[in-house]
């Protein structure tokens, strides 16, 4: 028998936000969004119990299958990060963009378009409404800018004074051939951990801080917990990467997705 | 804005059954099962409100993506059928087999293996426990045999006396080159409708019986309701067919799935 907890889904305001959301007149294909694949709302506790809020950028092809954000390569890196803070369960992760992006230079300028901003801020307000979030971390510049835009609102200004916040690099900022090395990414994340770890008040598991070394260890790339994913998804979807790929015309919102069991 | 109801998930015993289920030591790859794609539990109301119970055979590639059974071509045909009875919402659909099949001659003999039978009967007991099911229809021989095995149990014998039951042909029994024509399939389904329709006590929408003609009309292939699928799935996944295909080695449990937006 398999006995796997699964995400029983969003409740309350979170549920409403998963039922009523902006469409492709807001996230336009002509603006670089892959809206045909549908929105990816969150990963983690969309039920008011989250203590940590993480903000990422946008969902990719893996997330179009799991229907939860930050569940591919970037997601497993983020999972290791939040577990180093002691949050093994009480986190909520959302993205700055509800839909995937196929062209960043076209899409990123729309970060704070009125309808994009309003819907994202509704998520952030819902996240803070229960009064439990104590730690906020953004991964990458669009996520940081999304947080900044929220803190410019009355609610955002109010809650931002009550939390520990840190801006971290995007989980895959160390792209091959890019300006940021793996070592630089991990040093950046170590600074974030050193800033946030002492302020954690309600960890799921109290844990001494162990910083990253020169590279991610296997233990620092934990599987995505089954409790974060829909019922019935199998272990290979949680503990391996790159099983979903864009199979044709990847620079286009109509790109196919091919799923290969590792 | 999109405002789409979605399936908020199984409750009570149904939730337990989606958390604890047989693995690939029961549904073996060497017996013709595609267990790597994971179990597909149900479609419809797994919350005790169902009035109609439909039993199908096994999930295919479309269902591996939507994670709900009977949501591809066969599913849209079944949706039209249950709506002709007036059940637009209050139905529960399960399959005789929890996992997909890649080789029927290998897999079908395992229909009533002890662990396959026990888990399926637990679903059937859960379906009947609220005391609301009034109509049962099986689609295809394995589904009928699954029902027969259930009615041989004390609980099954007891509840079967309280419902209207009909055995119908598999929704895609009219395979090209096979022994059953589209016309014969629809005549078979008309007999089922004529048997069941007069006994419906609690339809969602009371509706006069309109039998099938020579072929399915567009109205007889309705979209899969968004309330039956996970949050965020897009209309093309509900109102078109064949967007998911086995992209390689289809006669093998490791077959890839390719998803193409229509």
Q: What confidence score (pLDDT) does residue A249 get?
A: 64
pLDDT tens for B29-88 read: 999 999 999 999 999 999 999 999 999 999 999 999 999 999 999 999 999 999 999 999
Say what the pLDDT of residue B246 is.
82
- Would you call B10 and A236 a contact, using CB atoms and an 8 Å cutoff? no
Query: Residue A261: its pLDDT value, please?
Result: 80
| Separation CA B184–CA B172 (nearest Å) | 11
Q: So what's the pLDDT on residue B248?
A: 66
Considering only the C-alpha atoms of chain B, give the largest distance between any 2 of them, rounded to a whole number of Å. 50
Q: CB of B206 within 8 Å of any CB in chain A?
A: no
Q: Residue A61 in contact with residue B257, Cβ under 8 Å? A: no
Nearest chain A alpha carbon to B20: A3
Distances (CA, A) of A97 to A38, A69, A109, B5, B189: 12, 10, 11, 22, 46
> Mean of the pLDDT values across residues B201-207?
97
The pLDDT of residue B178: 87
Q: What is the pLDDT of residues B86-95, one digit of tens each?
A: 999 999 999 9
Q: How confident is the model at residue A170 (pLDDT cuts 50, 70, 90)?
A: very high
- Contact status, residue A21 vs residue A98, Cβ threshold 8 Å: yes
Cβ–Cβ pairs < 8 A, chains A and B: 102
pLDDT band at A262 (very low <50, low <70, confident <90, very high): confident
Mean pLDDT calculated for residue range B147-156: 98
Which chain B positions have a beta carbon within 8 Å of A14's beta carbon?
A: none
Phi and psi at A202, nearest 5°, equal -130, 65
Confidence at residue A190, expressed as pLDDT on a 0 to 100 scale: 98
Does A230 contact B258 at a Cβ distance shorter than 8 Å? Answer: no
Residue A23 has pLDDT above 70, yes or no: yes
Least CA distance to B3: which residue of chain A? A20
ipTM above 0.90, yes or no: yes
- Return d(Cα A179, Cα A139) in angstroms, integer: 17
The pLDDT, as a whole number, for residue B140 is 98
Q: What is the mean pLDDT of chain B?
A: 95
So what's the pLDDT on residue B235? 94
For residue B258, pLDDT beyond 90? no
Q: Are B201 and B63 in contact (CB under 8 A)?
A: no
Please give the Cα distance from A198 to B71 (Å, whole number).
49
Q: Considering chain A, what is the average pLDDT of its residues?
A: 95
What is the rounded average pLDDT of the residues A34-56? 97
Alpha-carbon distance B260 to B262, whole Å?
A: 6
Among all residues of chain A, which has the CA nearest to that of B37?
Answer: A234
Q: Which tops the pLDDT comparison, A81 or B258?
A: A81
Predicted local confidence at residue B262, as pLDDT: 77
Regarding pTM above 0.90, the answer is yes
Residue A24 CB coordination number (10 Å):
17
Residue B117 · residue B142 · CB < 8 Å: no
| Tokens describing residue B15 | 């939730």
Helix B182-196 and helix B73-84, axial crossing angle in degrees, nearest 10: 40
Say how far apart CA B106 and CA B33 lie, in whole Å: 8
> Which positions ≥6 away from A27 have C-beta within 8 Å?
A33, A35, A97, A98, A99, A110, A116
When mean pLDDT is compared across A200-214, A220-234, B242-256, the lowest value belongs to B242-256
> What's phi and psi for A191, nearest 5 deg?
-60, -45
Q: Quick one: which of A27, A17, A81 has its CA closest to A54?
A: A81
Q: Does A254 touch chain B (CB under 8 A)?
A: yes
Handedness of CA B26, B32, B36, B39 (dihedral sign): negative
Looking at chain B, the whole-number percentage of residues with pLDDT higher than 70 is 97
- Which pLDDT does position B257 carry in this prediction? 85
CB of B16 less than 8 A from some CB of A = no
Q: What DSSP character marks residue A151?
A: H
pLDDT tens digits for range B113-135: 999 999 999 999 999 999 999 99
Instruction: Identify any residues that bridge with B43 across adjacent strands, giving them in sequence order.
Output: B93
Q: CB–CB of B234 and A37 under 8 A?
A: yes
CA atoms within 13 A on the CB side of A3: 1
Name the band, by pLDDT with cuts 50, 70 and 90, for residue B249.
low
Mean pLDDT of B7-15: 98
> Cα separation of B93 and B43, whole Å?
5
Sign of CA dihedral A39, A45, A47, A50: negative
Distance from CA of residue B101 to its chain's centroid?
Answer: 14
- A116 to chain B: nearest residue by CA? B1
Shortest CA gap B191–chain A (Å): 36
Q: What is the CA radius of gyration of chain B?
A: 17
User: Do residues A142 and A108 make contact, with C-beta atoms less than 8 angstroms apart?
Assistant: yes
CA distance B74 to B82: 12
Whether the predicted pLDDT of A248 surpasses 70: no
Q: Domains in chain B, please, with CATH?
A: 12-223 (3.40.470)
Has residue A251 got a pLDDT over 80?
Answer: no
B162 CB-near residues (< 8 Å, 6+ apart) = B134
Task: Cite the DSSP H helix spans in chain B.
Answer: 12-19, 61-66, 73-84, 104-107, 114-128, 141-151, 154-160, 182-196, 235-239
pLDDT score of B186 more than 80: yes
């Amino acid at each position: 028998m398999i006995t796997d907890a699964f995400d029983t889904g969003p409740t309350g305001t979170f549920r409403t936000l998963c039922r009523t959301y902006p469409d492709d007149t807001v996230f336009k294909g002509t603006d670089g969004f892959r809206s045909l694949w549908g929105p990816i709302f969150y990963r983690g506790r969309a039920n008011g119990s989250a203590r940590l809020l993480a903000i990422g950028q946008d969902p990719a092809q893996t997330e179009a299958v799991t229907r939860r954000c930050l569940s591919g390569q970037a997601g497993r890196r983020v999972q290791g990060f939040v577990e180093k803070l002691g949050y093994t369960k009480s986190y909520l992760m959302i993205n700055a963009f509800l839909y995937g992006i196929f062209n960043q230079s076209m899409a990123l300028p729309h970060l704070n378009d009125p309808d994009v901003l309003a819907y994202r801020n509704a998520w952030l307000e819902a996240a803070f409404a229960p009064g439990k979030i104590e730690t906020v971390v953004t991964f990458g510049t669009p996520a940081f800018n999304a947080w900044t835009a929220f803190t410019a609102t009355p609610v955002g200004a109010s809650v931002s004074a009550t939390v520990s916040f840190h801006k971290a690099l995007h989980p895959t900022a160390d792209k091959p051939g890019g300006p940021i090395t793996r070592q630089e990414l991990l040093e950046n994340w170590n600074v974030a951990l050193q800033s946030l770890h002492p302020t954690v008040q309600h960890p799921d598991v109290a844990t001494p801080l162990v910083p990253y070394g020169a590279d991610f260890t296997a233990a620092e790339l934990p599987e995505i917990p089954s409790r974060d994913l829909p019922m019935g998804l199998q272990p290979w979807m949680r503990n391996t990467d790159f099983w979903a790929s864009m199979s044709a015309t990847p620079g286009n919102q109509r790109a196919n997705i091919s799923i290969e069991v590792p």
